[in-house]
Amino acid sequence: MLLHFVSKLQRKPERARRKAALIGAAVVTCLIAILWFLNVSLIEIPEAASEQTASVGPFRALSDGVGAMLAETRAAVADIADIFSENSPDADSVVSPGESPDSK
C-alpha cells in the first residue's frame, strides 16, 4: 500500500510532491507532540520540585532533569536486561542438534 502510494506520488508534479511532504511532516510532528504532551501530563511532579525557590538557575534545573532522566533510563534498561536474562535458557539446559533431552 505504501509502495503503491509512493510510486503514484513520484509520477505527480513537483508541487503535489512538496504538498504531500509538507502534510506528512505536519502529521508526524503533530503525533510526536501529542505523545509528548500525554507523557508530560502523566508524569507526577514531586512536591519538592513544585516548591522550588528562585535560587535554582535554569542550567541547574536542566542538569538535574537530565540526570534524573538518565537514572530512570538506566533503571529501565537494567529491568529489561533482567527480564531477558531470566527468560534465556541456561547453558546446561540447551540441547545440541541430534542430542536427546534425556541424555543430559
Inform me whether the pLDDT recorded for 103 exceeds 70.
Answer: no
The DSSP result for 33-47, as a single string, is: HHHHHHHHHHSPPPH
- Kindly state the percentage of the chain with pLDDT values over 70: 68
The rounded mean pLDDT for the chain is 79
Nearest to 69 by CA among 48, 41, 40, 47: 40
Compute the half-sphere exposure of residue 65: CA atoms within 13 Å on the CB side of its CA: 10
Greatest distance between any 2 Cα atoms in the chain: 71
Inform me whether the pLDDT recorded for 54 exceeds 70.
Answer: no
- Kindly state the percentage of the chain with pLDDT values over 90: 27
Could you read off the pLDDT of 21-35 as tens digits, one per residue? Answer: 999 999 999 999 998
